[in-house]
Chains A and B, each alone.
Chain A
Amino acid sequence: MKAMREAYGEALVELGRSNPNVVVLDADVASSSRSILFKQAFPDRFFNIGIAEGNMVGIASGLATAGKIPFVNTFAFLLALRAADSVRSLVAYNHLNVKLAGAYGGFSDSYDGASHQSVEDVSIMRTLPNMTVIVVADEFQAKQAVFAAAALEGPVYLRLSRAEVAPIYTENSKFEIGKGIVLQEGTDVTIVANGYMVTKAIEAAEILAKEGIKAEIVDMHTVKPIDAALLLASGRKTGAVVSVEEHSIYGGLGSAVAEVLAGELPLPLEILGIKDVFGESGAYEAILSKHGLDKVAVAAAARKAISRKK
């Protein structure tokens, strides 16, 4: 098992080898984001901007206007909030080829507490026109997402995690931006998740299976553009949906799912996420459970969604 950030840093190096236009910027957290691996491999194409996130994104924008493909690194909340105007007015508005990698998504920097956790980044990024938003689930997906983001012309937000979690994919798993992944087929309820919550969905499905409930599990790694076709097809089959995200219930995956269903297929939908509160210090799994983001809570939400079917 490898930390996602380690896999991410290694992927940057590999990408840098094949594409000389890739440059990497960090705001004094290169050791944490693991962008330091790129620095060691390509010192001339790495820029440590210091503790100045807005400036970092602005510099990345300038580099992008000259044909570079900048990967910008810092903690997720800093990219979404401290650097927000540069992200909006430069990267998103101008459709610049800048890749924003938000380390430490959700509660994953658990012991540092609310100041360093990010419960609102996906919502903020999703609301920006032109922005593609990806929430990465494990080390293998991190690598694939890096390469896919580089291949896509335009702004991409990659939400990463500090947590060391068991992988659910392999090196050979398929990944395509905007295409959700059906991890398990089912007929009774659709559980849509992303990031580490995909693991919780898988665990919940095991609980439900023992009760005779067949859950379909979808990894909706790309929150924007969301794979509406897959979501609708799955919803038509199962008739009930649960969304699970390590993020505020406002504006993230659950909202994106609701927007799709409300327009075309108004099914019972249970939105699991962080209920409009900030995080706190503690052990990662303990915080997740406290906020209803564990297998028991997901299974309960699935039963509730099923019970609401007409």
Chain B
Amino acid sequence: MSMDAAKEQQLKTIAKQMRIDIVKMLHNVKTGHPGGSLSAVEILTVLYHNQMNVNCKDACNCSRDRFIASKGHCAPVLYTTLADKGYFPKAELKNLRQLGCMLQGHPDMKRIPGVDISTGSLGLGLSVGVGMSLAGRLDKQDFYTYVLLGDGELQEGQNWEAVMAAAKFKLDHIIAIVDNNGVQLDGTLEDIMPMGDIGQKFAAFGWKVLTADGHDVRSIDAAIDQAKTVCGSPVVIIAKTVKGKGVSFMEGKNTWHGKAIEDKDFAIAMAELGGNNE
């Protein structure tokens, strides 16, 4: 089922506002990771607003779809999404990373409704996704488990252990999405540790590999629709993205992986994103 124009426009509007919310939130507390959040905006928008079966009023329902932010430093995009979906009041976003707050620096399942597993230490999320998917099979549930992976994160070896396991168990209700922005903390993947053809690596382990334009909601949505038709093997969607997408001076820059947004940068960012300076 292809997305209609009205839906596409609605998702684009949500994504636009989410970028504004992310930059405002990070500027407000002068700490947090903008780059890898802005690259994943459309991915989370499509998942939470058009694909996933989740409901904030029944956040622990055992048949709900699961989402794992394996690249846990994208907490800001997850938090704005969950607030948007009603899991907690948007006012919480102002307390990000502050002592005693709900919204920890990285996603925390014990504190934040809607977070299915705590993440932050890279390379663990896909293993958890395999476990969730196995549980779904045991319980005869047909929920999907979505795992958002960073491309730099794939340098952690445990990912590939989990890749093997998902293929062995023929898990066709786990969908990994690689936020393929090509940049990690210290520089580009090419400079720091080249990952070569990520899709071929997954394919060699027995995964079905799809690609998408990670900033085109229609492209992401179509890839997920297609992923759900696959039987007998796990699916990865390699979503081509731009780190810091939407803010010109952040785009493609490793220096904006985890840098505080100062006032002068904030003003420029808001002008570009079409937000106000509040």
Q: Which of B128, B134, B162 has the most CB of A within 10 A?
A: B128
Decide: B136 and A50 in contact? CB cutoff 8 A: no
Q: What 0/1 readout, one digit per residue, does chain A (112-156) give for beta carbons within 8 Å of chain B?
A: 000000000000000000000000000000000000000000000
Decide: A90 and B135 in contact? CB cutoff 8 A: no
Known: A44-B138, A45-B138, A65-B117. A86 touches B124 (CB 8 A): yes
Which residues 84-110 of A have a CB within 8 angstroms of B?
85-86, 88-90, 93-95
Contact of A61 among B123, B128, B138 (CB under 8 A): B128
Of chain A, the residue at the smallest CB distance from B72 is A89
State the CA gap A50–B161 with chains docked (Å): 9
Decide: A52 and B135 in contact? CB cutoff 8 A: no
Decide: B117 and A94 in contact? CB cutoff 8 A: yes
Known: A61-B117, A93-B118. A86 touches B127 (CB 8 A): yes
Q: What 0/1 readout, one digit per residue, does chain B (127-140) give for beta carbons within 8 Å of chain A?
A: 11111111110110
Decide: B124 and A59 in contact? CB cutoff 8 A: no
Which residues 95-137 of B have a CB within 8 angstroms of A?
109-110, 116-121, 123-124, 126-136
A186 within 8 Å of B by Cβ?
A: no
Decide: B162 and A55 in contact? CB cutoff 8 A: yes
B210 within 8 Å of A by Cβ?
A: no
Nearest-CB distance from B160 to chain A (Å)? 9
Chain A contacts for B158, CB-based, 8 A:
52, 54-55, 58, 86
State the CA gap A45–B161 with chains docked (Å): 20
State the CA gap A58–B121 with chains docked (Å): 12
Chain B contacts for A61, CB-based, 8 A:
117, 127-128, 131
B52 within 8 Å of A by Cβ?
A: no
Decide: B127 and A55 in contact? CB cutoff 8 A: yes
Chain A contacts for B164, CB-based, 8 A:
50, 52
Chain B contacts for A95, CB-based, 8 A:
110
Decide: A58 and B130 in contact? CB cutoff 8 A: yes
A230 within 8 Å of B by Cβ?
A: no
| 5 A-B pairs whose Cβ atoms sit less than 8 Å apart in the complex | A62-B132, A65-B109, A67-B62, A67-B135, A93-B118
Query: What is B's interface to A at a CB cutoff of 8 Å?
Result: 62, 109-110, 116-121, 123-124, 126-136, 138-139, 145, 158, 161-162, 164-165, 168-169
Query: What is A's interface to B at a CB cutoff of 8 Å?
Result: 23, 44-45, 47, 49-50, 52, 54-68, 70, 85-86, 88-90, 93-95
**6 tightest CB-CB pairs across the interface, nearest first?**
A62-B131, A58-B127, A66-B135, A55-B161, A52-B161, A59-B131
Given contacts A60-B131, A62-B130, could you give 18 more A-B pairs where the C-beta distance is less than 8 Å? A49-B161, A50-B161, A50-B164, A54-B161, A55-B165, A58-B124, A58-B130, A58-B162, A59-B162, A64-B131, A66-B135, A85-B121, A85-B123, A86-B158, A89-B120, A90-B118, A90-B124, A94-B110
